[in-house]
Structure 1
Amino acid sequence: KAVLLLLRGPSAMVNEDDFKVAVTIVFALLILCLLFYAVRALCLIGSIGCCIADVCKCCTRCFCKCFKQDKEGGAVATGGAAAGALDPLHRAGNWGALMLMICAIFMSIIWQFYIGEHMDEWKLVRDAWQDNCDPDDGDYPQCAEYAATYRVSFATVIFFLGMACVCAFEPRLHDEGWDIKFFAWLGIVTLFIFAPNRVFDDHGYVWPARIGAFAFLILQQIILVDFAYTVNEKLTEMGMREGEDGLTPPLLLLLGISVACYSLAFAGIVCLFHYYTGCTNSDAFISITFIMIVIFTIAQLFSDPALGHNILVSSVVA
């Protein structure tokens, strides 16, 4: 009542009930205005999302147009398109998956090194992020940083497993709808923010991920060895074909690639010793890696040439 009297003034002759009705109407109008601007803000956010989706879609189409491979010198026509026309969906799935993986890598890095340790400051997710990662523990904040990376990794695994299942029944979906797929992946990552750490740490996702990573590394080594042997054979054949004595340009290129690979390998080992020392397991694995590189390189150099030895394979694997 004091507020009403202050607003009305001492000499006001307005009825108190009428004044209350007027104030109620004013507040109702203010609330409607706020709701209106809130809806406009949501529409603006939606428009921004649509723009981002269009940009992603255009990027995938531009990439697939730039890297489209022609067969026998002519463009491949799909879906009844005329010869020479570019299919906008050609290899869009490959480039869309690559772009999503790049986004996942950058998100993991940013989340781990800049955001992860501050997630428990958000009350809504504090319990989830402090699960098996208490600030009083000695592993904090590393456990929170790792948990951030695990969330992005698990979301990416679920996304691609779902894609594999869907594309098994409808292969064309591999190339379509990457704007929607990107936001679906982002939605999975957002949901995982509220999931407890035990879903992702040693009690859940981490061990299957480690086993899968080991299997992938073995497969990757096989692919790299096959690729290195192919490149070595091509460059050696080109070098011998020129009929010159000594190191021909293809052989020099082969030697340069080998030296570059070894340089990168040893630089990486030095960085590992510099940044990841102090842990017995880390020191042991880094040392074993360095020793095995030296052993296999020596074995390649002194093996029988008839067995197809070459230094490029050792350098690539290193």
Structure 2
Amino acid sequence: MGCLISSMACCIGSAACGCISSCCPTMRSSTTSRIMYSGILLLMTAISLIIRIPGISEQMKKIPGICKEGKYQPITGGLVSCEDLGTYLFVYKVCFPVALFFFLMSIIMIEVRSSKDIRAPIQNGFWLWKYLIVIAAIIGSIAGMPDSFAYPWMIIAYIFAFIFIIIQLLLLVDFAHTWNETWLDNAENKDRSWMCGIVFFFSFNFVAIIAGNVLLYVFYTSCDSNGLNIAVITINIILCILVSVVSILPGVQEHNPKSGLLQSSVISLYCTYLIWSGFAADPSGCNPLNTNSTTESDTAADHNSNIAPTLVGIAITFFVVLWSVLQTSSSNYSQKLGVGGEEGALLGCTGTSADGGSDDIEDGKPRVYDNEEDGVAYSYSFFHFMFMIAVFYLMLVLTDWWNATTDSLVSGAFSKTSLWVKITSSWICYAIYCWTLAAPAMFPDRDFGYA
């Protein structure tokens, strides 16, 4: 009971202690704040996924007061139109207020330098109110957002989602380098068995890459107009081989000795996924998963979406978000982007005065302490911008990059734009990774932070 009361006090108040202060190990306020904001992102995704489970929306229609027959009856007849419940348009209405919340937080937190700033408590406290505001805003958006807003909202989402994909690529490249470097250090300084782990994972990744590209050839080149698909898959295979060879070249190894096949296998596997998800969103006859058609009913069309690419995309997005929140490396891309965790964030902290806390933490009293009195551990404003564009990206992933036209709001039609966004993104990812390999050799006097 004491734990619950303490947590509720932190949620309601402005103290930078978070809702988990008295129940979890000692942590920094900068870390707990990012975890709590990740919870808002998770809440939005969970609502969107649950409502799209086949049969859930039909069951919800039976609940009195949930939906109204017809789209333009007064709101008092229900929160949302029964025709919209469970469709892609419904996902747009759920995501809109969450993106707006992070946008406003990004504006409010511009130029916050330390926890002594008068705006800092807004960042690190009032968690109960924040969650209640977001939930209330989602309900209001579902009830009041006009259908005609979907198309301009989609255009905005495409722009910011592409930006998020680029940042996501940077963070994934950072993850690949950090993973390999950490395990190599463990193999050299602790136990050689860590090297077996590296061999296992890069072997597993390369088997998955080969199998994935073979399956792409089998399932996505059986149509008459298969020239584009064959070319894209072939280019992807060539690039997989190219980055693998480059990663073990003597010149690259000389300036970046921890470069290896594990990083290249992670990048190649992710790029192969991008190609697959792009093909899965292709409206042409070359897509065997495309069961949508303009003759199908609105709700049925939405429920025939390709769930596998959607779930994988969501999982990767949350992994990247959590990596940027909880990773421990202090010299990497995510730190330079302003979203990375400070040293020790993933493992908690000692709580000693030298670490920014106080010695009484060592008495076994877990709490969240303020570690940002002398300066923030990450850019508050850019952090919220990152989460805002992550909302846009998740919204498009959850709706299969839906083409929201004003005359076909719930058609479930796929967009060719998604195919080219994914293909282009995979090529950019290869280019970014190759740059991380070549840059130390080209500019040996510069510190790139990942070598």
The TM-score, its normalising length taken from structure 2, stands at 0.41
Q: Quick check: which has more Rg, 1 or 2?
A: 1
**Offset, 1:166:** 2.5
The 10-residue stretch of structure 1 (248-257 or 156-165) with the greater mean CA deviation from structure 2: 248-257
Contact 2:8–2:19 (CA<8 Å) still a contact in 1? Answer: no
User: Does the residue aligned with 2:19 lie in a helix, a strand or coil?
Assistant: helix
Residue 265 of structure 2 corresponds to residue 315 of structure 1: yes
User: Could you report, residue by residue, the CA deviation over 1:9-32 in whole angstroms, capped at 9, with x for unpaired residues?
Assistant: xxxxxxxxxxxxxxxxxxxxxxxx
Contact 1:155–1:192 (CA<8 Å) still a contact in 2? Answer: yes
Contact 2:244–2:265 (CA<8 Å) still a contact in 1? Answer: no
In structure 2, do the counterparts of structure 1 residues 297 and 206 end up closer, same or farther at CA, with 3 Å as the change threshold? same
Name the structure 1 match of 2:198: 254
1:61 to 20, 27, 36: 20
**Offset, 1:215:** 0.9
Name the structure 2 match of 1:96: 36
Q: Aligned runs of 1:61-210 on 2, under 5 Å?
A: 61-62=20-21, 65-66=24-25, 68=27, 89=29, 91-113=31-53, 114=55, 122-123=67-68, 126-127=71-72, 145-168=87-110, 170-194=119-143, 195-200=145-150, 203-210=151-158
For 2:108, give the aligned amino acid. V
**Offset, 1:155:** 1.7
**Offset, 1:284:** 9.3
Name the structure 1 match of 2:443: none
User: Does the residue aligned with 1:91 lie in a helix, a strand or coil?
Assistant: helix
CA distance in 2, matches of 1:116, 1:284: 40
User: Does the residue aligned with 1:61 lie in a helix, a strand or coil?
Assistant: coil
User: Could you report, residue by residue, the CA deviation over 1:185-207 in whole angstroms, capped at 9, with x for unpaired residues?
Assistant: 1111111112122212xx22112
**Offset, 1:293:** 4.7
Name the structure 1 match of 2:446: none
**Offset, 1:152:** 1.7
User: Could you report, residue by residue, the CA deviation over 1:68-92 in whole angstroms, capped at 9, with x for unpaired residues?
Assistant: 15xxxxxxxxxxxxxxxxxxx5533
In structure 2, do the counterparts of structure 1 residues 289 and 190 end up closer, same or farther at CA, with 3 Å as the change threshold? farther
* Higher RCO (C-alpha 8 Å, min separation 6): 2
**Offset, 1:178:** 1.0
**Offset, 1:240:** 5.0
1:226 to 164, 170, 174: 174
**Offset, 1:313:** 2.0
In structure 2, do the counterparts of structure 1 residues 298 and 265 end up closer, same or farther at CA, with 3 Å as the change threshold? closer
CA distance in 1, matches of 2:94, 2:232: 28
**Offset, 1:212:** 1.1
Contact 1:228–1:313 (CA<8 Å) still a contact in 2? Answer: yes
Contact 1:68–1:91 (CA<8 Å) still a contact in 2? Answer: yes
Name the structure 1 match of 2:162: 214
**Offset, 1:294:** 2.7
User: Does the residue aligned with 2:125 lie in a helix, a strand or coil?
Assistant: coil
In structure 2, do the counterparts of structure 1 residues 211 and 272 end up closer, same or farther at CA, with 3 Å as the change threshold? farther
Structure 1 runs of 4+ aligned residues shifted over 6 Å read: 263-274, 283-289
User: Could you report, residue by residue, the CA deviation over 1:71-124 in whole angstroms, capped at 9, with x for unpaired residues?
Assistant: xxxxxxxxxxxxxxxxxx5533212111111111110101223555777x9337
**Offset, 1:307:** 1.7
For 1:68, give the aligned amino acid. M
Contact 1:64–1:91 (CA<8 Å) still a contact in 2? Answer: no
Contact 1:64–1:90 (CA<8 Å) still a contact in 2? Answer: no
CA distance in 2, matches of 1:60, 1:151: 28
Unaligned runs of 5+ in 1: 1-49, 70-88
Total equivalences in the alignment: 230
User: Does the residue aligned with 1:66 lie in a helix, a strand or coil?
Assistant: coil
For 2:168, give the aligned amino acid. Q
For 1:156, give the aligned amino acid. V
User: Could you report, residue by residue, the CA deviation over 1:180-229 in whole angstroms, capped at 9, with x for unpaired residues?
Assistant: 100111111111112122212xx221121122111111111112112312
In structure 2, do the counterparts of structure 1 residues 294 and 273 end up closer, same or farther at CA, with 3 Å as the change threshold? closer
Name the structure 2 match of 1:301: 244
Contact 1:235–1:251 (CA<8 Å) still a contact in 2? Answer: yes
**Offset, 1:265:** 6.6
User: Could you report, residue by residue, the CA deviation over 1:214-259 in whole angstroms, capped at 9, with x for unpaired residues?
Assistant: 11111111121123123323433444568x9xxx422211123334
